[in-house]
A and B are shown apart, each in its own frame.
Chain A
Amino acid sequence: MSRPEDNLPPDLYYNDTESRKYTTSSRVQSIQATMTNRALELLDLTTSSFILDIGCGSGLSGEILSEAEPPHTWIGVDISPSMLAVALDREVDGDLLLGDMGQGLPFRAGSFDAAISISAIQWLCNEDEKGVDPKTRLSRFFDSLYACLKRDGKAVCQFYPRDDKQRDMICSAAIKAGFGAGLLEDDPETKNKKLYLVLTVGGEGNKDITGVVQGMDGVDVFDNRKKLMEKAKKDAKKGTKAWIMKKKEQERKKGKIVKADSKYTGRKRGIKF
């Protein structure tokens, strides 16, 4: 099956005709509602919150936020004028902005309690019209998302990666931005399988992402603290003094004779002709 993401930029794919077709389809309405409700469940908000809906489209996801118990207030950002026009037409409660998440989100630090994105962020795996590459767009997006969430904030992004490579590219961009990240899969191994990226901003009591998704079926935990520790280990890089000292120590333990350490150990030598 061909994916819309593989053929056209989002604002051209979601033109007037497609936006209306999308929004009026009862099949689409019910799938988007189910996924938004799942995202809300994962956000686990106990009080009326201020939420950003990224790639809000015509407001099918946002409406669920308005109608939730307790009801939430949301702001929607989307790149397709046609989708936003349909949202206006349907008189959604959220305030709407035309914007490209790949350019970064234009909000001040600590604005939102939470963010959701339903079926949108896989679009970031394409270059934009200016030829800006996906990695740059993904990091602009996640960096700005991290900044505009409150210190104990959370985000849930349901997305449709083309393959595992895209999935991993998206997840690692989120982790790089500083998020604690968990990946949840509903209905795995079926054609209805749904992926949710659960992101937390490290605040008090929110440090452990594993707590958010643990015990749920099919959960894979990406923990950036683990990553950071691995990175620190790797930092004893080949060729550095720390690395050489470690190596020497290992060799010594094996009973080998190694050169005595000196202040010259690990220094670059002058180029020899």
Chain B
Amino acid sequence: MKLLTANFLSCAVKACKSSPLSFPLHFKDAELASKSVPYNPVLLSNLLPRLDWPALVTSSKELGFALPDSKPDVARISTPSAASSPSDGDDTAMSMGATDEDEKTLRMLHKVLMETEVVEGKMVCGSCGFEYGIHQTVANFLLPSHLGTLSYHDRLRDTGLRYFAEDSRTCEFKI
């Protein structure tokens, strides 16, 4: 479960749809890891307007790090056309016309949203109290009716796969 995903998930229980307490879901007993993924400043600047910043601040706090109180301001950048794109494969936002300051912000967002993962833990609905388990980074959103017949944890364990077990650690962000 990445922080990116958590910023768009709300409780799946029908009765919670209209409750403001069902978003964001609250992290509990979270074990963090970082996973490196390609940096995509264009995507980040596209996403920024859609992010619920207060929710992201809440999630971050629950995971033990702090973000600025208000949403940073970054000018929208777009994909450079083939002609103007730098030949050396430089994918920094600056090469796409972003300022030094914006570049810093985007790198920070990348780290927080894309590279920070909850490997094990729970997400809890503030409205109905339902706990969504997170196991090997995968959150289980099957509603209880389904859990009765399927044991997801047992079956995932049966596959014998272990992820991030070694490199799990608590992340520290200083921004």
Q: When each residue 128-144 of chain A gets 1 if its CB lies under 8 Å from chain B and 0 otherwise, what string results? A: 11100000000000000
Docked pose: A70 CA to B163 CA in angstroms: 29
Q: Is the CB of A48 within 8 A of B152?
A: no
Q: Which A37-59 residues have C-beta < 8 A from chain B?
A: 46-50
Out of A95, A98, A150, name the residue touching B142 (CB < 8 Å).
Answer: A98
CB neighbours (8 Å) of B47 from chain A are 50
A184 within 8 A of B: no
Cβ contact within 8 Å between A73 and B141: no
Query: Are A70 and B142 in contact, with the CB atoms below 8 A?
Result: no
| B103-132 contact mask (Cβ, 8 Å, vs A): 1 or 0 | 000000000001001000000000000000
| Interface contact B40-A73, CB-CB below 8 Å | yes
Q: Which of A48, A107, A129 is close to B79, meaning CB atoms less than 8 Å apart?
A: A48
Find chain A residues with CB under 8 A from B4 CB.
73, 95
A63 in contact (CB, < 8 A): no
Q: Is the CB of B146 within 8 A of A49?
A: no
Please tell me if the beta carbons of B155 and A88 are within 8 angstroms of each other in the complex: no
Q: Which of B6-14, B26-34, B56-64, B65-73 has 4 or more CB atoms under 8 Å from chain A?
A: B6-14
B5's contact among A79, A95, A113, A150, by CB below 8 Å, is which? A95
CA distance A18 to B137 in the complex (A): 22
Q: Are B12 and A16 in contact (CB under 8 A)?
A: no
Would you call B15 an interface residue if the criterion is a C-beta within 8 Å of the partner chain's C-beta atoms? no
B143 in the interface (beta carbon within 8 A): yes
Contact A11 B137 (CB under 8 A): no
Are A81 and B43 closer than 8 Å at their CB atoms? no
The CA of A46 and the CA of B40, in the complex, are separated in Å by: 15
Contact A88 B161 (CB under 8 A): yes
B23 contact from A72, A104, A108, Cβ within 8 A: A108
CB-defined contacts of B156 to chain A, threshold 8 Å:
81, 84-85
What residues of B have a CB within 8 angstroms of the CB of A33 in the complex?
A: none
Contact B9 A129 (CB under 8 A): no
Please name all residues of chain A whose beta carbon is closer than 8 Å to the beta carbon of B141 when the two chains form the complex. 77, 97-100, 106
Q: Hey, which chain B residues are within 8 Å of A49, CB to CB? A: 43, 46
Q: How far is the CB of B148 from chain A (nearest CB, A)?
A: 9
Residues of chain A within 8 A (CB-CB) of B79 are 46-48, 70
Q: Do residues A106 and B10 form an inter-chain contact, with CB atoms below 8 A?
A: yes
Within 8 A of B (CB), among A87-113: 88-89, 93, 95-100, 103-104, 106-108, 110-113
A residues adjacent to B (C-beta < 8 A): 11, 16, 46-50, 66, 70-73, 75, 77, 79, 81-82, 84-85, 88-89, 93, 95-100, 103-104, 106-108, 110-113, 128-130, 148, 150
Chain B residues at the A interface, C-beta cutoff of 8 Å: 1-2, 4-5, 8-12, 14, 23, 37-38, 40, 42-43, 46-47, 50, 52, 78-79, 114, 117, 136-143, 145-146, 149-150, 152, 155-156, 158-159, 161, 163
Q: 25 pairs across A/B with beta carbons < 8 Å?
A: A11-B150, A47-B46, A48-B40, A48-B79, A50-B50, A72-B43, A73-B43, A81-B152, A81-B159, A82-B155, A85-B136, A85-B156, A95-B1, A95-B2, A97-B5, A97-B138, A97-B140, A98-B140, A99-B141, A100-B146, A104-B12, A106-B9, A108-B8, A108-B9, A111-B50
